[in-house]
Amino acid sequence: MGRLSVNLCGLEMDNPVIPASGTFGFGYEFAEIYDINCLGTFSFKGTTKDARFGNPTPRIAECTSGMINAVGLQNPGVEKVISEELPKLAKCFSKPVMANISGFAVEDYAYTCEKLDKESQVGWLEVNVSCPNVHGGGMSFGTSPEAAAEVVRAVKKVTTKPVIVKLSPNVTDIVAIAKACEEAGADGISLINTMLGMRIDLKTRKPVIANKMGGFSGPAIFPVAVRMVYQVAHAVNIPVIGMGGVSSAEDVIEMMLAGATAVEVGAANLINPCACRDIINDLPRVMDKYGIENLSDIIGGVK
């Protein structure tokens, strides 16, 4: 094990840096830019049981220190992900990958997770109960402890690999939802997904995004994410993946001090395609600056 290595739900990772789902495609697109094997792993594009075209355009709006998106889980469906996307990924990525899964019914989650659980390339299942921009989708599960737990129980019945539940910040008590997921059998928690935001075009006096509202991400939400990671990490006994506005090696260390075992990087990838590689390369310098020998030693270092 090296200075940067961590153990996430029983799987060793060379470093804790993970490109977040929806910002890194299926990986092979970024492999044309740099060797993605430098990553700890990555969470591939959110996958559903059936193919989805996504929301109408425009889907993106720029904001101060962030962005709003309402892509709507556009993806080819789990069957094509398995038959077409994973074989392409296997040619350029030699590590276990994190499969991100969404659904519109408990049965959808179970079906898609069971399919991906059988794939040797998949190391973890990241179950998204938090997407705020698909009508009737993840948010309705992620805002209720009971509903989130129901999804976890259904998925755990049909899978053998670690199940990490991705939570929404658009709730009153995120700790209660995290604890319900842990009690239902979740192996880890990832948070936060995007916050719900909106922009209005002053010329047209209409919402900038066709969906009206979408997921707000970027550096502006980082303090909220750190707070929620701290709260959840100190309330559960399973690993936490922190995300939300992470854009530097310093941010990674701050998230880990708050209690994160690993850290996902989202919007930063859309600004700089090499963001994750650059963060990983900069981690040793920042560790030396703050007297950190091994990253695994600082997880939850702030009480």
The catalytic residues are 131
Do 1 and 64 contact (CB within 8 A), yes or no?
Answer: no
Structure tokens at 116: 């991906």
Helix (H, G, I), strand (E, B) or coil at 91: coil
> What's the length of the chain?
303
Whole-angstrom distance, CA of residue 47 vs CA of residue 155? 15
Whole-angstrom distance, CA of residue 163 vs CA of residue 188? 6
* Residue 208 DSSP label: S
Q: How far is CA 39 from CA 59, 89, 127, 198, 276, in A?
A: 28, 14, 21, 32, 7
Do 302 and 234 contact (CB within 8 A), yes or no?
Answer: no
Helix (H, G, I), strand (E, B) or coil at 32: coil
Q: How far is CA 292 from CA 218, 256, 258, 296, in A?
A: 27, 12, 15, 10
